[in-house]
Amino acid sequence: MIAFLARRALGILPVLVCVSLFSFGFVRMLPGDPARLLAGPDATLQEVRAVRISLGLNKPLWQQYLTYIRQTLVGKLGTSARTGQPVAKVIGERFMPTFWLTVAAMAWSTVIGVALGVLAGVRRGQWQDQTSMVLAVSGISFPAFWLGLLLIDLFSVRLHWLPTGGEEGWRSFILPSFTLGVAVAAVMARFTRSAFVEVAGEDYVRTARMKGVLERRVIWKHTFRNALIPVITMAGLQFGFLLGGSIVIETVFAWPGLGRLLVDSVNYRDYPVIQAEILLFSLEFVLINLLVDVLYAVVNPEIRLQ
């Protein structure tokens, strides 16, 4: 298991190099002077010159790359052109709200989605299956912004139970995490159902029944665990997407997260922040993939032992 983990961790090194190259190349591939772009639209000539010197933009590319890596590793990601604050601080402030919102949304939607999926799989073709799948399709099709607005109208404006937006205390999490999780729960339910149905047709499930195993145990011990692998993959992907911050949800609920930061940065051409967000999103996916691999190994001994 340790060798497996070490091998997987080593395996992400080349990916990290690619990610850093992409993030590094982002500003340099745009037309125009990178120093000008990074300094921001309102920068003075001196400021542009200062950026040029600090990034070594007059030196060969490989030296610039090494400078970029060195500075990134110590967290020096430049200065936001919009606010003048260090990029690391800007991103750091926005990351945690998005992170906790994502965790809340993933937690409920995974539990509910998987449970609905198993129910639909076990009662395939019956009313439980049809109801679950109608719910799932609705969840995917329902536009999140509209759902969010409806919920605000009901629970905040009419009933005054929950805040309309902002991030203050646990009650402010309820509406955005619910809205964010609906589509995820729907996707998870569909995925779990199809994985479950597929595994339920496997020979070893028939073997378990032939042993006279209780149906409950056939479902959870023999079917569910084997059906988990595609579900884990899907959960990892969803987690990665949500961690990028949902522009729609954060706008509707005035949530101070990465999604809105990205929109603001793009509108203002705040390239240092955009560059850092690219790096962050890529790193998140790499780490989540590593986590998914570890979960595979926990579930499947064949991956762990070979």
- Nearest-angstrom CA–CA distance, 124 and 200: 11
Specify the residue for token string 């029944």.
Answer: 209
Tell me the DSSP string of 172-230: HHHHHHHHHHHHHHHHHHHHHHHHHHHHHTSHHHHHHHHTT--HHHIIIIIIIHHHHHH
Instruction: Output the CA–CA distances (angstroms, integers) from residue 195 to 5, 59, 138, 256, in the order listed.
Output: 26, 54, 20, 37
Instruction: Examine residue 233 and tell whether it contacts another protein (CB under 8 A).
Output: no
**Residue among 131, 173, 227 nearest 139 (CA):** 131
Task: Closer to another protein by CB, 229 or 248: give it.
Answer: 229
Which structure tokens are listed for 192? Answer: 């779990």
Task: Closer to another protein by CB, 6 or 66: give it.
Answer: 6
255: amino acid identity, one letter: W
Sole window of 49-57, 140-148, 208-216, 265-273 interacting with another protein (rule: CB under 8 A): 208-216
Cβ at position 18, least distance to another protein in Å: 20
Task: Closer to another protein by CB, 178 or 296: give it.
Answer: 296
Instruction: Examine residue 299 and tell whether it contacts another protein (CB under 8 A).
Output: yes
Instruction: Examine residue 204 and tell whether it contacts another protein (CB under 8 A).
Output: yes
Instruction: Examine residue 207 and tell whether it contacts another protein (CB under 8 A).
Output: yes
Task: Closer to another protein by CB, 49 or 225: give it.
Answer: 225
Task: Closer to another protein by CB, 199 or 279: give it.
Answer: 199
- Nearest-angstrom CA–CA distance, 48 and 41: 10
Cβ at position 111, least distance to another protein in Å: 22
Instruction: Examine residue 221 and tell whether it contacts another protein (CB under 8 A).
Output: yes
Instruction: Examine residue 220 and tell whether it contacts another protein (CB under 8 A).
Output: no
User: Which parts of this chain interact with another protein (CB under 8 A)?
Assistant: 3, 6-7, 10, 202-204, 206-215, 221-222, 225-226, 299-302, 305-306
